Amino acid sequence: MRKLVLLIAFVVSIGIFSSATDQVSLKNGDHLSGTVIKSDGKTLVLHTDYAGDLTLKWDAVQGIQSAEPLHVEFQDGRKAVGAVSTSDDKIQVATSGAAPVEVSVANVKTLRNDAEEKAYEKSLHPGLFQEWKTGLNAGFALTRGNSETKNLSIGFLATRQTVHDKLGLYETSVYASNDAAGAVPSTTANTAGGGLRYDHDLRDRVFAFGAADFFSDALQGLNIRSVFGGGGGYHAIKNDNTTLDLLAGLNYTHESYTGLTRNFAALTIGEELMHKLGKSTALNESLTFFPDLSDLGEYRGNFVFGTVTKMNKWLGWQNSFSDIYVTNPPLGKKQNDIILTTGLSVTLGQ
């Protein structure tokens, strides 16, 4: 009798334990137990004790049975909260105090548990000093003896991205000198630049942007180039591994060279690409043209290509190449300024 009671208690405890676990069945016949974290309509993330977070293709999911309420958003904008179950390609949300909501699985836009929903709501309205990701990269070289030189390159990046907004700041500078006695010129490179750009999504793939950029180059005689502009953009590619943005707009440019000052309106036409190469390396590339509206034969072009390879959570290796081309530099100055830097990249924020 005692053994029978223990057996019944064990079976009941197993049933209770199982009922507190979400169940996911796949179209190939597999059944998985864990905690449903989220879905974006393309993948489903299931947390398990035996394999951590599993990312499943949404199209491969046959059914879901949740033990706890989930926050479900449908393609038509409606939302519902409750335990979720599926059958015959239908998903049913058992809402509290109302009739269950039932739609086809294809009409599910997002699905989140309580923790993910709170994180999502927080990301919609973060404080100004929240959600920043910042990084600093630096390189230095020094020679003494038969040659006497020093080179220093510094770069700073900061990005704050929410669901519908993105604010980016950057600064970069390169200085090099030949310290040998009588060397002419003694300064062989002295450039500095910086700026910011703000993007705001108007629709899923369409956004507006405003930007300000500043650049100086002592060897070209450029004291300051200030560019203030804005326009619209289109997310041609937008997924977890690759983004490709197309940009078009107008800008006002002020250039102050030694003995020459120019002010003019120009177009902004360009593209920006970000692609993840595996888990540790990210590639960034951009190409932008600025045709002078007062003289379309004159323009400026910027090309930037870079990679960052993470060695651990906060340390990486950074490579950057940029080419700034101006069709009409001051007399005696070259049209191209090419900058190549490499060095350590330190992530200051996550």
pLDDT score recorded for residue 8 = 46
For 204, phi and psi rounded to 5 degrees? -60, -40
Residue 292 included in any domain: yes
Asked if residue 209 and residue 98 are part of one domain, the reply reads: no
In this structure, are residues 124 and 338 in contact, taking their beta carbons and an 8 Å threshold? Answer: no
Instruction: Report the C-alpha gap between 141 and 125 in whole angstroms.
Output: 44
Asked if residue 171 and residue 283 are part of one domain, the reply reads: yes
Residue 89 included in any domain: yes
Residue 305 included in any domain: yes
pLDDT, tens digit, 9 for 90 and up, residues 10-65: 444 444 444 458 999 998 989 999 999 999 888 999 999 888 999 999 888 888 99
Asked if residue 179 and residue 70 are part of one domain, the reply reads: no
pLDDT, tens digit, 9 for 90 and up, residues 281-320: 999 999 999 999 999 889 999 999 999 898 888 888 888 8
pLDDT score recorded for residue 20 = 59
Asked if residue 326 and residue 246 are part of one domain, the reply reads: yes
Split into its structural domains, the chain has a count of 2
pLDDT score recorded for residue 16 = 41
- Residue 24 corresponds to which tokens in the numbers above? 């996911």
pLDDT score recorded for residue 279 = 84
Domain span at residue 23? 19-124
Instruction: Report the C-alpha gap between 49 and 235 in whole angstroms.
Output: 37
pTM: predicted TM-score of the whole model, two decimal places: 0.68
> Tokens 């003019």 map to which residue?
264
In this structure, are residues 71 and 114 in contact, taking their beta carbons and an 8 Å threshold? Answer: yes
Asked if residue 201 and residue 343 are part of one domain, the reply reads: yes
Residues in Cβ contact with 182 at an 8 Å cutoff, skipping those fewer than 6 apart: none
**Residue that is last in its domain, among 124, 153, 182:** 124
Q: Which residues pair with 38 in a beta bridge?
A: 45, 112
Q: How many C-alpha atoms does 22 have within 13 Å on its Cβ side?
A: 24
Asked if residue 150 and residue 104 are part of one domain, the reply reads: no
- CATH number of the domain that residue 136 is part of: 2.40.160.40
Asked if residue 255 and residue 158 are part of one domain, the reply reads: yes
Q: Of 99, 227, 238, give the one whose Cα is nearest residue 166.
A: 238
Low-confidence ranges of the chain (pLDDT < 70): 1-20, 349-350
